[in-house]
Amino acid sequence: MMLKNVSIKLGLPAILVAASVSLMTPAHAQLGGIKLPSLGGGQASAPAVDVGSLLSQQKGLVGRFNSAMNNMLLAQARTLAALNLNEESEKAAAAAESYASGNVVAEDQIKRDVELSKASLEQINAAKAKGEQLTSDGKQSLMAAIPHYVKGMADGVKLPKEFEKWSSVAQGGLGSLASNPMDALKLKDGLGEALPVITNLPGLIKVWGETTTTFVQYAKGNDLDVSEIEKIEL
């Protein structure tokens, strides 16, 4: 099963977080009270930055994150409902709704929902440990979770690679913005929107991987087909 590789991949998001921080730390210019990168003082040799393209890519990154978060929370909600943990299921479903719009989300919201996902994982593990077979209705609810796990993990596993590409381009050309404070400000704002996602990505990927692995084991124990989830390579 491809999900066994989840722990191996956890180092990549951590590296990306470090890369994102490095964009904002070496030799800084000051603009609006916020420190902005100034690599080499705007040397002529610095590659040009297409700020519009970078911001568009950043929006795509946040959108992919929102899609993954929405689907993973809905998957957990369906799984909890299958276990008759209805109050917990409703909390997960309500949290999922806040990501459905695709808007930028606050860091405290993401952190809250990381903890919610961890709690859901503990509850699912506890039910799995009991070894009880699900009712017919429970199996239907568990089956309804499968498409959300597939979509959520398919989006989630792309996040590190997509951001790696994005940060590499941004880091390589930031020096050219030393003489263009307006574009620097725009890029700074884009980085500010993406950073809550990036900084929480390592913990999220870990929880998503563990939750999905637990779900696959539990679903198999109840004779459900989870082959679509198992095709996803982390």
Per-residue model confidence as pLDDT tens digits over 152-187: 999 888 887 887 787 777 666 666 776 777 887 777
- Mean pLDDT for the chain? 77
pLDDT at residue 181 in the model: 78
Q: Which conformational region is residue 42 in: left (phi greater than 0), alpha (psi within -120 to 50 degrees), or beta?
A: left
Q: What is the mean pLDDT of residues 119-137?
A: 86
Helix (H) or strand (E) holding 34: strand 34-37
pLDDT score at 173:
61
Task: Give dist(CA 13, CA 203) in Å, integer.
Answer: 9
| Cα 27 from chain centre | 30
Residue 52: Cβ within 10 Å count: 10
Tokens of 1: 């099963």
Q: Show the tokens assigned to 223.
A: 């004779």
Lowest mean per-residue pLDDT among 35-39, 129-133, 175-179: 35-39
Task: Report the alpha-carbon distance of residue 198 to residue 182 in Å, rounded.
Answer: 24
**Per residue in 43-92, pLDDT tens?**
444 446 788 888 888 888 888 899 999 999 999 999 999 999 999 999 99
Closest by CA to 81, choosing from 137, 126, 122, is 137
Cα dihedral angle (120, 227, 68, 160), rounded to 10 degrees? 110
Residue linked to tokens 């297409």:
50
- Cα angle 148, 152, 52; round to 5: 135
pLDDT score recorded for residue 26: 40
pTM of the model: 0.78
Residue with tokens 């209705």: 137
